[in-house]
Structure 1
Amino acid sequence: MQLHNTKGIVLRTVKYGDTSIITTIYTELFGVQSYIVKGARQAAKGKQGKAVYFQAATILDMAVYHNEQKHLQFIKEYHLAYPYQAIQADVVKNCVSMYIVEVLQHTLKQPEANPDLFYLIENTLQQVDKGSNALTANLPLYFMLHLGNQLGFQVQGNYSLATPYLDLAEGFFVPETPNHAYYLTDELAMLTSQINNIVYYTDLENIKLNRQVRIQLLEAYGQYLSLHITDFGILKTLPVLHEILG
């Protein structure tokens, strides 16, 4: 097997045997891959075990062996590509990062590489770590819309007096009420248009949302993803995110 250098973002990790783990990682080169890391749960005296590197949302630099014919791959070397400064200790930032990871768990089901999507995830998690409270609170909304963009069902058009409805099933701003229940209008459609057109993360700080509006948007964007992703399912971290972001 050939050795490759790639970045990866940890999505989930489970125990394997007495001392090892199996970790699912979204990689820059190969998309979603599962790796066995032998002895990761063994800790030398006075030191942490290597399993600490495989907590959800961790961004790694890795040297990996890759064989397309196998479901389990092997990691030769790994280290932190971006050591978090705040996510582990800040309750809000940790909750937002876990929500993003759960969205990815429900979304990324095929081992297909998509470097632009990888960079979106990487940049978003870094912004969660170092961003202001206002930016952090709005990042899940930005991420869900732009995740759809990367997966091929981008929201098209803009909110205006001529197109005041966002049809979530079709992904278009339209002039008339859609003939189904999956649409936004008025303030929610206008805010979605603003968030969808943001170029710089810091612009998220200028979007002021109250608790009720943020909850409505989070639920609508979850519905948007579920309409376009087969078996998307229910996000368990969503009620926690509602509570934490207030």
Structure 2
Amino acid sequence: MVHKTKGVVLRTVKFGETSIVVSVFTELFGLQSYLVNGIRQVSKKGTAKGAYFQPASLLELVVYKNEFKNLQRIKEYKWSYLYQHLFSDIFKNAVALFAIELLNKCLKEPEPNNELFYFIEDALLHLDEASPTVTANFPLFIALHLAVFFGFRINDEYTEAKHYLDLQEGVFTEEQPQHSYYLIDREAEAVSHILKVMQPSELEDVKLNQDMRRRILTALEGYYALHVPDFGTMRTLPVLREISN
């Protein structure tokens, strides 16, 4: 059957001489893989169709859906939204790629999740127009709020007494955890602040230096590794650290 759906591109792999296999998180079907033929050829107008399938691209798709096949096909595609800055701004692009890799590592089954799709779509739209401060804080926002959709959210109960964030349990506590997966004091308080942020524009009020952001992000990578099977390490995180110098 043929369906219309929006999708965000997660990953593209070359297939043969001119084709690709693209992983897309779709509004209707969740995670899907599509074979797109002839996409790596330059058209008569001199444009490369492959530009549509960059990670983080937001597309409107007309797709074939066969329940008995793992690899589907796309009938039509066009931009759902054409970014003004995200593909050309090096820092914003690095943040977007971080968000996409994190999402891709968490998605395990092709199950529909409309709320998650709308969260990612909205986040990327905000990132495209974000100020430098919002952009710098964006990876923390994504990492902390994405966890909610996969069942291991951090309960925001930070107080001056509960100044340890136990990343193994996902709770703030008064007692120092008996393991190394925790944040303390200012870093724990910063996590609490970002957990309260509902709209990315509010990240403008989160005042952190680059060293603190890096330490929290590294800790959150460990947090995901504790809660997502076969999570491994983030390939985009070292790039993000380097660019944010």
Say whether the fold is shared (TM-score over 0.5). Answer: yes
Name the structure 1 match of 2:59: 60
Report the Cα offset of residue 105 of structure 1. 2.5
Name the structure 1 match of 2:137: 138
Name the structure 2 match of 1:169: 168
In structure 2, what is the Cα distance between the partners aligned to 1:64 and 1:236? Answer: 30
Cα deviations by residue, 1:119-140 (Å, 9 ceiling, x for unpaired): 1111111111111011011011
Runs of 4+ with deviation above 3 angstroms:
none
Given that 1:127 and 1:136 are in contact with CA atoms closer than 8 Å, whether structure 2 keeps it comes out as no
Name the structure 2 match of 1:200: 199
Name the structure 1 match of 2:88: 89
Given that 2:86 and 2:127 are in contact with CA atoms closer than 8 Å, whether structure 1 keeps it comes out as yes
Name the structure 1 match of 2:49: 50
- Structure 2: unaligned runs, 5 residues or longer: none
In structure 2, what is the Cα distance between the partners aligned to 1:150 and 1:187? Answer: 26
What amino acid is aligned across from residue 25 of structure 1 in structure 2? V
In structure 2, what is the Cα distance between the partners aligned to 1:188 and 1:44? Answer: 51
What amino acid is aligned across from residue 187 of structure 1 in structure 2? R
Q: Within 5 A, what are the aligned runs for 1:1-246?
A: 2-246=1-245
Given that 2:156 and 2:195 are in contact with CA atoms closer than 8 Å, whether structure 1 keeps it comes out as no
Cα deviations by residue, 1:60-95 (Å, 9 ceiling, x for unpaired): 011111122211001111110010101121111111
Report the Cα offset of residue 29 of structure 1. 1.1
Report the Cα offset of residue 109 of structure 1. 2.1
In structure 2, what is the Cα distance between the partners aligned to 1:44 and 1:188? Answer: 51
In structure 2, what is the Cα distance between the partners aligned to 1:104 and 1:165? Answer: 27
Cα deviations by residue, 1:208-234 (Å, 9 ceiling, x for unpaired): 111210110110111111110011111
Cα deviations by residue, 1:92-124 (Å, 9 ceiling, x for unpaired): 111111111221232212111111111111111
Cα deviations by residue, 1:163-183 (Å, 9 ceiling, x for unpaired): 211111111112211221111
In structure 1, what is the Cα distance between the partners aligned to 2:242 and 2:39? Answer: 34
In structure 2, what is the Cα distance between the partners aligned to 1:189 and 1:135? Answer: 19
Which stretch shifts more, 187-196 or 173-182?
173-182
Report the Cα offset of residue 4 of structure 1. 1.2
In structure 2, what is the Cα distance between the partners aligned to 1:204 and 1:73? Answer: 38
SS at match of 2:104: helix
In structure 1, what is the Cα distance between the partners aligned to 2:233 and 2:82? Answer: 30
- Structure 1: unaligned runs, 5 residues or longer: none
Report the Cα offset of residue 47 of structure 1. 2.4
What amino acid is aligned across from residue 11 of structure 1 in structure 2? L
User: If the length of structure 2 is used for normalisation, what is the TM-score?
Assistant: 0.96
In structure 2, what is the Cα distance between the partners aligned to 1:7 and 1:45? Answer: 27
In structure 2, what is the Cα distance between the partners aligned to 1:201 and 1:165? Answer: 25
Given that 1:167 and 1:182 are in contact with CA atoms closer than 8 Å, whether structure 2 keeps it comes out as yes
In structure 1, what is the Cα distance between the partners aligned to 2:112 and 2:48? Answer: 30
SS at match of 1:8: strand
Aligned length: 245
What amino acid is aligned across from residue 84 of structure 2 in structure 1? Q
In structure 1, what is the Cα distance between the partners aligned to 2:6 and 2:114? Answer: 10
Cα deviations by residue, 1:138-163 (Å, 9 ceiling, x for unpaired): 01100001110111111113210232
